[in-house]
C-alpha cells in the first residue's frame, strides 16, 4: 500500500504547512474567528463574563428606552427587551465554554482508544489555553500509541526474514536436500545470531523510547557483506540469479555491520520479489575516494518503479506497486539505517535501454555518528526526496509513519520546517470542534447545551435539518402584522394576520392530517372570525387565547390535561429549543449567492431611504410637500419603532409555533404516572361517601328553602330570597370544580380488578355525578333569580355559561364512567369549551345582556343606564331598538367615533353602531341633566 503524498488529508483534500498543523491541532486562523466568537481576543474569562453581563444589560436598557420613548405598550416592549438581552448574551457567549464540552467528549473517546479528537481553541483566555494544552496532550498520546503500533510492525518485519531462512534450511535438512555439514550448521547459527541481535536491538529501541540509537562502528569488508547477504537471500529459494561486483574488490569501510546487513538484506528481498522467474539481480558496490564515500546499487529486471510512487517508496508502508506486495517496511528501515550512517538512499532511473528498478545508497566511508541524546531528533527528508505522510489506517491496523519506530520513535512529536507534524494524518479535528449538526457554524455549544437541557423530553428529529419555509414564512407574517396591526383596533387586519399564521403553522405541523388537527383548525377559524364580527375586545382576547390552546394541542397531539398544559408551555420554550434549527437554516440560506445579498441590499436601501427622505422632508418645505403628495396617507415613519417591535413579536411567536409544529415534544410523557389503587376499597369509598352525604344534605336544605317560601327563609336566615341566592352562587361553582377533581382522584385510586369493584365504582361516582348535576341546576336557578332581581351583566352571563359548561363536563364524565374509559375526555372538554366560547361570541353577549335588561325595564320599570352605557358598541342596535330615542341617545352618545374609514380596521359591531348614530344629534352623557344614571332603582 503506497503512502500518500505530502499534505494529503484523509478526505482527499490537501493541506500543507501551518494550515495542516492548524487542522490537526484544532486551531483556526485568527481571521476566521472574529465574527462568530467576538470575545476571543479577551484574555481573561472573568473579564469576558463581566463584558457579557454589562453589554446584555446595556442592550436591554437601550431597547426598553426606545420602546418607552416611542410609545410602545409595555406588554409588547418587555418580551422584545428580554429577547434582545438574550440575543446579545448568546452572540457574545459563543465559544466561551465550547472547548470544555469538547474536551469532555474527546476524553471519553480517548478512553476508548480514539485519539483523533481535537478541540477548537481560538480564545486567548484560560479556557483557550486549556484547550491548546489538551490538543498538545492528545497529539502526544496519539504519537505514543503510534509508536507502540510501529514497534509491533517493525518487530514482525525484522524477525520474518531470518526466521524464513532458518525454516527453509531446516526443511532442506529434513528432506535431505542439504547435508548437515559444518557449512549448513554454520549458516543456521549465523541466522540465529542475527535473529538474537535483532531482538536485542528492537528491545533496546523500545527501552530508550525515542532516544537515538548508537552505531557500533567497525571495519567491514563490503565483498564479504554482500556475499553473506546474497547467500542468505538465496537460501529462501527464490528463482533469481545474483550478480555481485565490488570496485575495488577489497573495498573496506567503517560501518555498523549488523545495520548495514539490514540494508542489503532488505534491498535484496525487495528486488527478488519484484523480479521475474530466472531474473537477474545486480548488486554493485563502488568506492568514491574524492567524496570519501561509497555507493551500493541494487538493480532488478522487474517492471520498475512508477515515477509517481518513487517519492513514497521509502516511507513506512510505501511500496512501488499497487498490488500490495510486501509490507512496505523494509525500504523504510533501509532509509533509516542509511540516515544513521549519515548517508542517503533513493530510487534512481535505470540506464537508458534497461528496465527494472535501481536503488542507490550513498554512504560515507567513515561515518561520524551524532552524540547520544535523550532528545528525539526530527526526521528530515533527503534533499532529493519529497516528504510524505503516512496512509490513514483504521484503528485495527498499524498506523503508518515516515520514520520507523526503531529509529527515533518520538521524533514525530517535534514538528520542524522540513517534516510534517508527527500526529497521524487521521488525527484531524472531529466534527465537534467545528460545529456539529444542529449547531451554529463555529460554535457547537448551542446544540449540545440545548439538547442536554431538554433531554429525552424534546429530542430533535434526525430528518429535521433546515426549515427555510418556516423561517421566511414567519418573517412574512411578522411583516404583515407590522404593516397592518399598529394603531388599529381588532378587525379585518387582525383576522388576516391570525389566518396567515394559522395556515403556516398547520402547513408545518407533522400532525396536520389527523382529524383532531383538522377539527381544531376549523374551530380556530371560527374563533378568529370573532375579531371582526364583534367589537368587544374581551371577547376577541378570549377567542385568541382559546385558539392558541387549540393550536398547541393540535400540533403536539396532546391527549391528557397535563400534556395539554405542557404543550402551551412548550410554545414559549420553542424560542429556545429551536435555536439550533434556526442556526442551521440561517447557515444554509446564507450560502445562497443571490438571496441574502438581495435582502441585505434591500434592507440597507430601505433604511437609507427612510432616514434621508425624513431628513430632507423635515428640512425643506417644498421637498416635504412632494413627499406628502407621493405618500399622502402612509404614516409608517411615525410608528417605525412600534412596527419594528410588532414585527419581532409576531414573527417570533409564529416561528416558535412553527418549530413546535415541526418538532413537537413528547408531551404525553408529562403525566402523574401510573395509577396506584388503594389496597382496601373502603379507603376511597368512605371519602366519596362523605361527599355524597354532604351533597344530599345540601340538596335537602335547598328543597326546604324552596318549599318553605320567602317568609320561612327570612325567619330562618334573616335574608331575602334575592340575597340568599346571590350569597351561595360562587361557592356552588367552586363545589362543582372540586367535585370533578374528587372524581378524578377516585378513579385513580379505586381498584378495578374484579367486576364487583367496577360496579361499585360506577354506582358511587354515578350518584355523585347525578347530585352534582342537581347542584349545577341549583346554581343556574340561583343566578337566574338574582339577575331578575338586580339586573343582567356580561360577567354574570359568562359565569352562567361557565357553570353550564361544568355541567356538560359532568355529563361527559358520566358517559366515560359507564365504559370506564375516558381517554377522549380531555379533548372533548377542550373542544366543548372552545365551542361554548364560539357560540357565546356569535350570540353577541353584550347585545343579549342589553336586551334582557330592557325586557326587565318593560316589566319592572327599573333600568341601570349607567351600566348600559358601559357596554360596548355591539349592544348599540339592541339599545336603539328597545329604548325610547331620548334614553338611547343618552346611552349611545357618539358611538360612531370608534369607526374610522380604514377597511383593515372594519368590524361588524362598530359598523352597525356607527350606522345607527350617524347624523343623530348629540345628547348629554349619562349622569348629566336629562340623562339619569338609573331609572326606578
Show the cell assigned to 198.
535483532
CA–CA dist 478, 654 (Å, integer): 8
SS (H, E, C) 10-59: CCCCECCHHHHHHHHHCCCCHHHCCCCCCCCCCCCHHHHHHHHHHHHHHH
Which pLDDT score, from 0 to 100, does residue 229 have? 87
Residue 31's pLDDT band (boundaries 50, 70, 90)? very low
Residue 822's pLDDT band (boundaries 50, 70, 90)? confident
Residue 19 has pLDDT above 80, yes or no: no
Which residues make Cβ contacts (< 8 Å) with residue 323, sequence separation at least 6? Answer: none
Residue 112's pLDDT band (boundaries 50, 70, 90)? confident
Which pLDDT score, from 0 to 100, does residue 324 have? 41
Which pLDDT score, from 0 to 100, does residue 919 have? 52
Which residues make Cβ contacts (< 8 Å) with residue 909, sequence separation at least 6? Answer: 533, 534, 535, 536, 844, 872, 873, 874, 876
Residue with cell 393540535: 554
Please give the DSSP secondary-structure letter assigned to residue 250.
T
Q: Pick the range with the lowest mean pLDDT from 142-146, 508-512, 543-547.
A: 142-146
CA–CA dist 124, 668 (Å, integer): 46
What mean pLDDT is predicted for residues 866-887?
A: 86
Which pLDDT score, from 0 to 100, does residue 402 have? 34
Residue 197's pLDDT band (boundaries 50, 70, 90)? low
Q: Pick the range with the lowest mean pLDDT from 115-129, 608-622, 844-858.
A: 608-622
What mean pLDDT is predicted for residues 607-635?
A: 71
Strand partners, 253: 220
CA–CA dist 281, 240 (Å, integer): 7
Residue 53 has pLDDT above 60, yes or no: yes
Residue 230 has pLDDT above 80, yes or no: yes
CA–CA dist 469, 340 (Å, integer): 66
Residue 302 has pLDDT above 90, yes or no: no
Q: Pick the range with the lowest mean pLDDT from 42-46, 92-96, 312-316, 412-416.
A: 412-416
Which pLDDT score, from 0 to 100, does residue 783 have? 83
Mean pLDDT of the residues in the chain: 76
Residue 478 has pLDDT above 90, yes or no: yes
Q: Pick the range with the lowest mean pLDDT from 8-12, 97-101, 150-154, 678-682.
A: 8-12
Q: What percent of the chain has pLDDT over 70?
A: 76
Residue 18 has pLDDT above 70, yes or no: no
Strand partners, 575: none
Which pLDDT score, from 0 to 100, does residue 918 have? 58
Residue 392's pLDDT band (boundaries 50, 70, 90)? very low
Residue 672 has pLDDT above 60, yes or no: yes
What mean pLDDT is predicted for residues 32-57?
A: 73
Instruction: Give the residue among 301, 190, 289, 303 at the shortest CA–CA distance from 243.
Output: 301
SS (H, E, C) 636-700: CHHHHHHHHHHHHHHHHHHHHHHHHHHCCCCHHHCCCCCCCCCCCCHHHHHHHHHHHHHHHHHHH
What mean pLDDT is predicted for residues 211-229?
A: 84
Which pLDDT score, from 0 to 100, does residue 313 have? 76
Q: Pick the range with the lowest mean pLDDT from 454-468, 475-489, 514-528, 908-922.
A: 908-922
Residue 393 has pLDDT above 60, yes or no: no
Which pLDDT score, from 0 to 100, does residue 448 have? 61
Residue 616 has pLDDT above 50, yes or no: yes
Residue 407's pLDDT band (boundaries 50, 70, 90)? very low
- Measured in residues, the chain has a length of 937
What mean pLDDT is predicted for residues 280-299?
A: 91
Residue 570 has pLDDT above 80, yes or no: yes
Greatest Cα pair distance in the chain: 147
User: Which of 30-34, 150-154, 512-516, 700-704 holds the top average pLDDT?
Assistant: 512-516
Decide: helix, strand or coil at residue 361: strand
Encode pLDDT of 529-563 as tens digits: 999 999 999 999 999 999 999 999 999 999 989 99
Which pLDDT score, from 0 to 100, does residue 143 have? 80
Q: Between residues 592 and 192, which one has the greater pLDDT?
A: 192
Domain 215-371 has CATH 3.40.50.10880: no
Which pLDDT score, from 0 to 100, does residue 323 have? 41
What mean pLDDT is predicted for residues 432-442?
A: 38
Which pLDDT score, from 0 to 100, does residue 530 have? 94
Which pLDDT score, from 0 to 100, does residue 404 have? 35
Whether the model pTM is above 0.85: no
Which pLDDT score, from 0 to 100, does residue 511 have? 93
Strand partners, 361: 296, 345
Which pLDDT score, from 0 to 100, does residue 412 have? 33
Which pLDDT score, from 0 to 100, does residue 238 have? 67
Which pLDDT score, from 0 to 100, does residue 125 have? 80
Which residues make Cβ contacts (< 8 Å) with residue 59, sequence separation at least 6? Answer: 84, 85, 87, 88
Q: Between residues 935 and 297, which one has the greater pLDDT?
A: 297
Q: Is the dihedral of CA 923, 927, 929, 935 positive or negative?
A: positive
Which residues make Cβ contacts (< 8 Å) with residue 338, sequence separation at least 6? Answer: 263, 344, 345, 361, 363
Which residues make Cβ contacts (< 8 Å) with residue 378, sequence separation at least 6? Answer: 411, 412, 414, 415, 416, 418, 419
User: Which of 445-449, 526-530, 747-751 holds the top average pLDDT?
Assistant: 526-530
CA–CA dist 232, 220 (Å, integer): 18
Which residues make Cβ contacts (< 8 Å) with residue 700, sequence separation at least 6? Answer: none
What mean pLDDT is predicted for residues 160-169?
A: 77
Which pLDDT score, from 0 to 100, does residue 514 have? 93
CATH 3.30.565.10 spans which residues of the chain? 215-371
Which pLDDT score, from 0 to 100, does residue 60 have? 82
Residue 144 has pLDDT above 90, yes or no: no
* Helix or strand (DSSP H, E) at 673: none
Which pLDDT score, from 0 to 100, does residue 914 have? 80
Residue 439 has pLDDT above 50, yes or no: no
What mean pLDDT is predicted for residues 230-239?
A: 73
Residue 310 has pLDDT above 80, yes or no: no
Encode pLDDT of 60-82 as tens digits: 888 887 777 777 788 778 888 88
Task: Give yes or no for a contact between 490 and 540, defined as CB atoms under 8 angstroms apart.
Answer: yes
Amino acid at each position: 500500500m503506497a503512502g500518500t503524498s505530502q499534505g494529503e488529508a484523509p478526505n482527499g483534500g490537501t493541506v500543507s504547512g501551518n494550515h495542516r498543523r492548524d487542522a490537526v491541532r484544532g486551531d483556526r486562523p485568527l481571521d476566521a474567528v472574529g465574527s462568530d466568537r467576538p470575545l476571543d481576543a479577551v484574555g481573561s474569562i472573568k473579564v469576558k463574563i463581566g463584558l457579557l453581563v454589562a453589554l446584555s444589560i446595556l442592550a436591554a436598557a437601550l431597547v426598553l428606552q426606545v420602546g418607552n420613548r416611542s410609545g410602545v405598550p409595555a406588554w409588547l416592549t418587555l418580551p422584545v427587551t428580554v429577547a434582545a438581552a438574550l440575543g446579545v448574551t448568546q452572540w457574545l457567549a459563543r465559544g466561551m465554554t465550547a472547548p470544555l464540552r469538547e474536551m469532555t467528549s474527546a476524553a471519553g473517546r480517548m478512553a476508548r482508544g480514539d485519539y483523533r479528537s481535537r478541540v477548537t481553541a481560538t480564545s486567548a483566555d484560560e479556557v483557550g489555553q486549556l484547550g491548546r494544552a489538551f490538543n498538545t496532550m492528545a497529539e502526544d498520546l496519539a504519537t505514543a500509541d503510534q509508536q507502540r503500533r510501529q514497534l509491533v510492525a517493525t518487530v514482525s518485519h525484522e524477525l520474518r526474514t531470518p526466521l524464513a531462512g532458518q525454516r527453509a534450511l531446516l526443511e532442506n535438512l529434513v528432506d535431505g536436500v542439504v547435508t548437515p555439514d559444518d557449512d549448513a550448521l554454520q549458516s543456521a547459527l549465523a541466522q540465529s545470531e542475527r535473529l538474537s541481535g535483532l531482538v536485542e536491538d528492537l528491545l533496546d529501541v523500545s527501552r530508550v523510547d525515542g532516544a537515538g540509537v548508537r552505531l557500533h562502528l567497525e571495519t567491514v569488508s563490503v565483498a564479504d557483506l554482500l556475499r553473506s547477504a546474497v547467500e542468505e537471500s538465496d537460501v529462501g529459494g527464490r528463482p533469481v540469479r545474483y550478480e555481485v561486483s565490488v570496485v575495488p574488490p577489497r573495498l573496506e569501510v567503517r560501518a555498523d555491520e549488523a545495520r548495514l546487513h539490514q540494508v542489503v538484506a532488505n534491498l535484496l528481498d525487495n528486488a527478488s520479489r519484484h523480479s521475474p522467474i530466472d531474473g537477474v539481480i545486480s548488486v554493485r558496490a563502488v568506492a568514491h575516494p574524492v567524496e570519501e564515500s561509497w555507493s551500493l546499487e541494487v538493480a532488478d529486471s522487474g517492471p520498475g518503479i512508477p515515477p509517481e510512487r518513487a517519492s513514497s517508496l521509502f516511507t513506512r508502508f510505501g511500496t512501488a506497486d499497487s498490488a500490495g506486495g510486501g509490507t512496505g517496511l523494509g525500504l523504510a528501515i533501509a532509509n533509516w539505517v542509511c540516515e544513521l550512517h549519515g548517508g542517503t538512499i533513493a530510487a534512481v532511473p535505470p540506464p537508458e535501454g534497461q528496465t527494472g528498478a535501481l536503488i542507490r545508497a550513498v554512504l560515507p566511508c567513515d561515518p561520524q555518528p551524532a552524540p547520544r541524546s535523550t532528545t528525539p531528533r526530527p526526521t528530515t527528508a533527503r534533499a532529493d526526496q519529497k516528504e510524505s505522510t503516512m496512509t490513514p489506517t483504521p484503528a485495527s491496523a498499524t498506523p503508518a509513519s515516515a520514520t520507523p519506530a526503531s529509529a527515533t520513535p518520538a521524533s514525530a512529536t517535534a514538528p520542524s520546517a522540513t517534516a510534517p507534524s508527527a500526529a497521524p494524518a487521521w488525527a484531524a479535528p472531529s466534527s465537534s470542534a467545528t460545529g456539529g449538526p444542529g449547531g451554529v457554524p463555529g460554535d457547537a455549544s448551542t446544540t449540545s447545551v440545548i439538547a442536554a437541557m431538554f433531554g429525552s423530553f424534546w429530542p430533535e428529529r434526525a430528518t429535521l435539518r433546515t426549515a427555510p419555509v418556516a423561517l421566511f414564512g414567519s418573517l412574512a407574517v411578522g411583516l404583515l402584522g407590522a404593516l397592518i396591526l399598529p394603531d388599529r383596533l381588532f378587525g379585518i387586519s387582525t383576522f388576516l394576520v391570525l389566518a396567515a399564521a394559522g395556515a403556516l403553522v398547520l402547513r408545518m405541523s407533522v400532525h396536520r392530517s389527523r382529524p383532531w388537527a383538522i377539527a381544531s383548525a376549523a374551530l380556530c377559524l371560527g374563533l378568529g372570525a370573532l375579531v371582526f364580527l364583534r367589537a368587544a375586545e374581551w371577547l376577541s382576547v378570549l377567542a385568541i387565547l382559546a385558539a392558541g390552546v387549540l393550536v398547541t394541542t393540535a400540533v403536539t397531539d396532546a391527549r391528557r390535561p397535563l400534556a395539554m398544559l405542557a404543550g402551551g408551555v412548550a410554545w414559549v420554550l420553542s424560542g429556545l429549543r429551536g435555536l439550533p434549527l434556526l442556526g442551521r437554516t440561517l447557515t444554509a440560506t446564507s450560502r445562497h449567492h443571490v438571496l441574502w445579498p438581495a435582502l441585505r441590499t434591500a434592507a440597507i436601501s430601505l433604511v437609507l431611504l427612510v432616514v434621508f427622505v425624513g431628513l430632507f422632508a423635515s428640512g425643506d418645505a417644498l421637498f416635504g410637500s412632494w413627499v406628502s403628495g407621493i405618500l399622502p396617507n402612509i404614516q409608517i415613519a411615525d410608528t417605525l419603532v412600534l412596527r419594528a417591535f410588532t414585527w419581532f413579536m409576531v414573527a417570533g411567536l409564529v416561528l416558535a409555533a412553527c418549530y413546535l409544529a415541526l418538532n413537537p415534544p413528547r408531551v404525553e410523557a408529562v403525566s402523574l404516572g401510573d395509577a396506584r389503587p388503594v389496597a382496601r376499597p373502603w379507603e376511597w369509598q368512605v371519602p366519596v361517601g362523605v361527599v355524597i352525604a354532604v351533597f344530599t344534605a345540601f340538596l335537602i336544605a335547598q328543597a326546604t328553602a324552596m318549599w318553605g317560601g320567602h317568609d320561612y327563609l327570612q325567619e330562618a336566615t334573616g335574608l331575602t330570597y334575592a340575597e340568599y341566592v346571590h350569597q351561595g352562587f360562587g361557592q356552588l361553582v367552586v363545589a362543582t370544580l372540586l367535585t370533578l377533581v374528587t372524581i378524578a382522584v377516585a378513579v385513580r385510586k379505586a381498584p378495578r380488578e374484579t367486576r364487583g369493584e367496577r360496579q361499585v365504582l360506577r354506582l358511587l361516582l354515578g350518584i355523585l355525578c347525578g347530585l352534582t348535576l342537581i347542584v349545577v341546576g341549583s346554581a343556574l336557578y340561583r343566578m337566574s333569580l338574582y339577575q331578575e332581581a338586580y339586573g343582567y351583566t356580561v360577567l354574570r352571563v359568562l359565569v352562567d355559561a361557565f357553570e353550564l359548561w361544568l355541567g356538560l363536563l359532568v355529563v361527559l364524565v358520566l358517559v366515560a364512567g359507564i365504559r370506564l374509559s375516558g381517554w377522549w375526555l380531555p379533548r372533548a372538554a377542550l373542544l366543548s369549551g372552545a365551542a361554548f366560547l364560539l357560540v357565546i361570541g356569535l350570540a353577541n353577549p353584550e347585545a343579549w345582556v342589553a336586551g334582557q335588561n330592557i325586557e326587565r325595564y318593560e316589566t319592572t320599570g327599573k333600568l341601570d343606564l349607567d351600566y348600559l352605557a358601559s357596554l360596548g358598541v355591539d349592544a348599540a342596535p339592541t339599545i336603539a331598538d328597545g329604548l325610547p330615542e331620548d334614553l338611547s341617545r343618552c346611552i349611545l352618545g357618539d358611538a360612531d367615533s370608534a369607526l374610522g374609514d380604514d377597511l383593515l380596521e372594519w368590524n361588524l359591531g362598530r359598523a352597525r353602531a356607527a350606522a345607527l348614530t350617524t347624523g343623530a344629534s348629540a345628547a348629554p352623557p349619562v349622569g348629566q341633566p336629562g340623562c339619569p344614571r338609573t331609572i326606578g332603582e
